[in-house]
């Protein structure tokens, strides 16, 4: 009986260490195409990460990181700005290093990785920068515009 449960078990979190390209090519593109087959998908939850305090997401930690598929909401209907306001008063903001393109083997940019920092609110409603960061991956179209409302987000505490 123990051997049957072992053969059906998913790999431990120790074995889930995807790099940028794997996150984009396998997981995000898989999510977009509906092909979410594979053991690694069990570590990536569907949640609107932009609506939750990062400390409330921590129970799903894998190597100090939490992985999510999340939908993007535009701040303005015709604009390109993304709504990253968290319920309860905090918000996600791009860091100094705004983004990095993920390229296919032919050199074409197919995705963008953006680094965001979380700013919470203290008792006096003044912005407080806690130690939470997020890498946000989104697919691009041929004109380097956002292709999809789905993103893959990796949330973690600053070391």
Q: How many Cα neighbours within 13 Å face the side chain of 107?
A: 0
Q: What is the pTM of this model?
A: 0.79
Residues 82-113: tens digit of each pLDDT: 667 677 778 888 887 778 889 888 888 889 99
Residue 152 has a pLDDT of 93
Q: What is the predicted pLDDT for the residue at 71?
A: 81
Question: Comparing 15-29, 33-47, 114-128, which segment has the lowest mean pLDDT?
Answer: 114-128
Band of residue 23 on the pLDDT scale cut at 50, 70, 90: very high
């Amino acid at each position: 009986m123990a051997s049957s449960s072992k053969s059906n078990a998913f790999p431990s979190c120790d074995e889930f260490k995807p790099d940028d390209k794997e996150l984009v090519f396998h997981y995000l593109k898989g999510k977009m195409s509906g092909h979410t087959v594979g053991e690694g998908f069990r570590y990536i939850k569907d949640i609107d990460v932009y609506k939750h305090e990062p400390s409330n997401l921590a129970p799903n930690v894998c190597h100090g990181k939490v992985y999510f598929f999340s939908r993007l909401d535009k701040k303005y209907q015709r604009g390109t700005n993304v709504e990253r306001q968290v319920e309860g008063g905090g918000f996600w903001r791009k860091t100094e290093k705004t983004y990095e393109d993920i390229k296919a083997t032919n050199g074409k940019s197919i995705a963008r990785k953006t680094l965001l920092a979380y700013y919470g609110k203290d008792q006096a409603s003044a912005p407080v920068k806690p130690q939470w960061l997020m890498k946000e991956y989104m697919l691009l179209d041929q004109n380097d515009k956002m292709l999809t409302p789905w993103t893959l987000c990796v949330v973690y505490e600053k070391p």
